[in-house]
Amino acid sequence: MSDDHSNEWYYNVKTGKVEPYQGDKAGDRLGPYNSPEEAARALEKVQERNEAWDNDPKWNDD
Give the chain as a DSSP string: --S--TT-EEEETTTTEEEESSSS-GGGEEEEESSHHHHHTHHHHHHHHHHHHHT-TTT---
**Confidence band, pLDDT 50/70/90 cuts, at residue 25:** confident
Q: What is the mean pLDDT of residues 39-52?
A: 95
Residue 20 lies in a domain: yes
Residue 38 lies in a domain: yes
> Which of 62 and 51 is assigned the larger pLDDT?
51
Residue 1 lies in a domain: no
Q: What is the mean pLDDT of residues 19-29?
A: 90
Domain span including residue 41: 9-54
Residue 49 lies in a domain: yes
Residue 61 lies in a domain: no
How many domains does the chain contain in total?
1
